[in-house]
């Protein structure tokens, strides 16, 4: 984790997002509302507030930009191993009117 000083929130976001990578980020703050607002502006796949690198296997893991494609873990990670199928069942075997 890199700790860096900044003059204001806009500069902090510019510094954090000004990289080719976006796997994870951490925000240390006593102001939770401000930290959540900053997190919404960060381009990173995982963002910790007042902690860092705490893994949660039920949460999707993956990065933005050149830090990877797709997600692992959690429901979003499982979607890579599924295929969508549309199934339409008609129980009325009478010929539809639109065949006349």
Task: Name the domain count of the chain.
Answer: 1
Query: At residue 4, does pLDDT exceed 90?
Result: no
Within a domain: residue 80? yes
- pLDDT tens track for 51-84: 988 777 777 778 788 887 777 776 766 677 677 7
The structure's pTM equals 0.66
Task: Identify the three-state secondary structure at position 54.
Answer: coil
2-23: average pLDDT:
92
Within a domain: residue 51? yes
Q: Residue 64: which domain range?
A: 9-91
Within a domain: residue 100? no
- Please report which confidence band the pLDDT of residue 99 belongs to, taking 50, 70 and 90 as the band edges: low
Burial group, residue 77, by CB count within 10 angstroms (0-12, 13-18, 19+)? middle
Within a domain: residue 58? yes
């Amino acid at each position: 984790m890199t700790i860096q000083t900044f003059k204001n929130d806009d500069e902090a976001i510019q510094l954090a997002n000004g990289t080719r990578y976006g796997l994870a980020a951490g925000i240390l703050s006593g102001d939770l509302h401000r930290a959540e607002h900053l997190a919404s502006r960060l381009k990173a796949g995982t963002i910790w507030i007042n902690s860092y690198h705490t893994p949660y296997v039920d949460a999707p893991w993956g990065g933005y930009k050149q830090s990877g494609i797709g997600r692992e873990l959690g429901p979003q990670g499982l979607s890579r191993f599924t295929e969508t199928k549309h199934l339409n069942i008609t129980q009325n075997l009478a010929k539809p009117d639109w065949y006349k």
